[in-house]
Structure 1
Amino acid sequence: MLVKEALCRQAKSGDVDTLYELIKGYAEKGIMLPRSKDVLLRQIDTFVIAEIDGEIVGCGSLTRLGLDLVEIRSLGISEGYKGCGIGSKLVEQLIQQAKEQRIPKIMALTYEVRFFERNGFSVVDKEIFPEKVWTDCVNCPKQHACDEIAVLRYI
């Protein structure tokens, strides 16, 4: 399939319903934490979206975990658009935001290790991120049997 170039932009409040549905699809498969519409609205300034012809086809967010650490969260691509470089474009945009905030470390918990490795991340032990463990993992249903892989990139 020939896919047009995706444009990345900051999310806005009018994008919440679409973001919610995209994230919900991943959450139902157990590969992403769900986010309520209220939470998405409160955190909308942390989200970047990818659009093709006005249609949202991907999203990702950047959440601060400490003075020198941010996390890429809720990175997802709509069915039919995976493998087209949209995820890498979103990651690039999020890395740029971290650079602008002068935050030297970006982490993610993922099942897509190869994707993150292609984008300059390395696999690390997730226990090196107590900021993540104590803010999010304590509320996760997979807390005691987490099968996600931690990745880290220094910028």
Structure 2
Amino acid sequence: MEKYILRKATIADVKAIHRLLMDCATKRLLLPRSFGELYSHLRDFIVAEDVETGTMAGCCALTITWEALAEVRSLVVAESAQGQGLGRRLVEFCVSDAVTFGVYKVFALTYQVPFFQKLGFSEVSKDILPQKVWADCLKCPQFPECDEVAMMIEL
């Protein structure tokens, strides 16, 4: 039996998603997300739930940013669940979701370059993501000094 199930997030998951994201944000591993952002983008999120305990072990979101482009974002796996392939499963779920929508280019802004390379993503210039810059980056506290790496996979 599988230890974790992956499913679409629900309203009941928002506080747990927020805790996971804020824990990583305090370590500067990803950007923080407000409750308002989580509620308004809840449909983008999937969660990994521990079957035995019912606790959230991870989350990830797929956000469609333009006609043929989507972003994997807010990928977090709880420390207790790391090293078990859960991050890979979360990203693969999002990539599969993108294909369902007819989107065949998926990118991520990340500090975890080797992880995304193992999944088939390649490093790209942020210059090819103008919609992302205008939609999110201008609001980011790290803009314009962003040190995340842009990675993309074409399906």
Q: TM-score range by the shorter chain?
A: over 0.9
Aligned match of 2:28? 30
Cα distance, 1:31 vs structure 2: 2.1
Distance 1:148 1:119 in 2: 18
Distance 2:36 2:139 in 1: 18
Task: Give percent identity, aligned residues only.
Answer: 39
Distance 1:65 1:39 in 2: 15
Number of residue pairs matched by the alignment = 152
Q: How does 1:76-115 map to 2 (within 5 A)?
A: 76-115=76-115
Aligned match of 1:153? 153
Letter in 2 for 1:43: H
Letter in 1 for 2:59: C
Distance 2:31 2:64 in 1: 17
Q: Which secondary structure state, in structure 1, belongs to the residue aligned with residue 33 of structure 2?
A: coil
Letter in 1 for 2:43: D
TM-score by length of 2: 0.94
Distance 2:130 2:87 in 1: 26
Q: Any gaps of 5 or more consecutive residues in structure 2?
A: none
Aligned match of 2:73? 73
Structure 1 residues 49-58 or 14-23, which shifts more?
Answer: 49-58
Deviations 1:36-66 (A, max 9, x none): 1122112111000011122110000011110
Aligned match of 2:16? 18
Distance 1:57 1:33 in 2: 19
Q: Which secondary structure state, in structure 2, belongs to the residue aligned with residue 143 of structure 1?
A: coil
Distance 1:5 1:153 in 2: 28
TM-score by length of 1: 0.94
Distance 1:26 1:43 in 2: 19
Distance 2:94 2:144 in 1: 29
Cα distance, 1:7 vs structure 2: 1.2
Aligned match of 1:129? 129
Q: Any gaps of 5 or more consecutive residues in structure 1?
A: none
Aligned match of 1:6? 4
Distance 1:110 1:31 in 2: 8
Structure 1 residues 16-25 or 39-48, which shifts more?
Answer: 39-48
Aligned match of 2:38? 40
